[in-house]
Amino acid sequence: MNTTNLESIGWNSHWNRKYLETCKTNVQGKDCIPARITGRHHDLFTVQSEDREFLCNPAGRLRQGRTWPAVGDWVILQLPDDNSNGVIHTVLERRSSFQRSASGKRSSLQIIAANIDLVLIISGMDGDFNLRRIERYMTLAWDSGASPVLILNKEDLVEHPDDYVHEAELYTPGAPIFHISAKNGSGVDALRSHFTQGQTAVLVGSSGSGKSTLLNALLGEDVQKTSSLRENDHRGRHTTTSRQLFPLADFGAIIDTPGLREVGLSVDSSSMDTSFSDISELAGYCRFKDCSHEHEPGCAVLEAVREERILPDRYEAYLKQKKELFFMQNRQEALRRKHEWEKEIAQYVKKQRKKAGKGRDAENGS
C-alpha cells in the first residue's frame, strides 16, 4: 500500500501497525482503506485517503461513546460506490485528544481534535488577553497528551510585547511562548521552527484572537477568510465555524477550530498538577498529605501565597479549577451509575419477557 500522501499529514509506522492489526480483527471481508478525517459537517465527515478527498458516513455501531469520529482521527473506511458516500467502519485508537466538557448542562465530553502533538493556544495582546482563559486552555492541553505552546498575537498593536510574555510566563510553567504578529508575519518563522516533521497541531483560542490570520500565514495562502476589524477592539467579524485539518508543508498538519465560548474542564488531577506545577510542587511540603490548601495549618501553598511567591489570582484560579474538576468527576460518576442501573433494569425486563414467553409456549403445547 502506497501511503506517501498520508505520510504528509501524519501517517507513520505506528498507524500502519494499528491499521494492519485492526484489519485482521474488525473489518474482515471488506474492501477497506485507511484515511484521516479532515472535516466534519454534522453527521457527515470529510476524509483524506491516499489519492483523494471525499465524504463519509459513520457506520451505525460508531454512534456510541468515544468511538464517534472526530477531526484528526485515523479511520478504516469502505470506499464509496459511484456517487455515494464512503462508510467509516473503525476509528483507530487515539494517541491523544484535545477535549472539553460539553457546553451547557450536559456533562459529556466533546472532542475538539484527535491525534495531536501540539496544542497552539493563541491569545491577542489586546482586549483578548485573559490569563484565566489561558490557564484553562493550558490545563486542557496538558490533559490531551500533547504539548502546549502559547502564542501571543498582535504584537503590532502594543509597544512592549515582552511585558505580556513575562506576565504569561508566571501562569504557564513548562510551555514555550512566542510573540508574533500574524498580520505582518513577525515571529511566524520562529514559531514554525518549533514544529517537527510529521506532527499535527491544533489551533485553539477565542474568537478574534487571530487564528484564521495565523493559519493563513503558516500555510502561505488564504485558506480561511478573515474580515476587517472593528476599530474599537480590533476584533474580526468573521469566525471559523467548523473544525478542519489542513496539510502544512514540511511539517505535517494543523487543525483549525472555531473560537470556544466556554472552556469546560474534563481532566484528571494529574493534568491540573502539571498545569499548576508551581503549586503542586509546593504541595509536597504541606504538613498533611490530604491538604486542601485552603485552611490547614502547615500548608506550604498558603505560606507561599502569604509571602507572594504564588500570586493571589493564580491561587484563586487553582482553587476554582480544582472545585470544578471535583464537581465534573462526581457528575460523570453519577451518570455512569445511572447508565449501569438502566442497563441492569433493561436486562431484567428482557429476561422476564423471555421467561413469560416460554411459559406461554408451554401452556400452548399442553
Which parts are annotated binding residues? 153-156, 205-213, 286, 291, 293, 299
306: left (phi over 0), alpha (psi -120 to 50) or beta: alpha
Residue 122 and residue 87: Cα distance in Å, rounded? Answer: 35
DSSP state, residue 287: S
3-state secondary structure of 283: helix
Residue 54 and residue 46: Cα distance in Å, rounded? Answer: 6
Q: How many Cβ atoms sit within 10 Å of the Cβ of residue 282?
A: 20
CA 363 to chain centre: 59
Q: Give how far Cα 122 sits from Cα of 2, 125, 190, Å.
A: 36, 10, 15
Residues within the annotated binding site for Zn(2+)?
286, 291, 293, 299
Angle subtended at Cα 139 by Cα 138 and Cα 144, rounded to the nearest 5 degrees = 95
Residues within the annotated binding site for GTP?
153-156, 205-213
Residue 40 and residue 47: Cα distance in Å, rounded? Answer: 9
Determine the residue type at 33: I
Residue 214 and residue 208: Cα distance in Å, rounded? Answer: 11
Residue 177 and residue 188: Cα distance in Å, rounded? Answer: 12
CA 223 to chain centre: 22
Residue 205 and residue 137: Cα distance in Å, rounded? Answer: 8
Q: For residues 115 and 73, is the Cβ–Cβ distance under 8 A?
A: yes
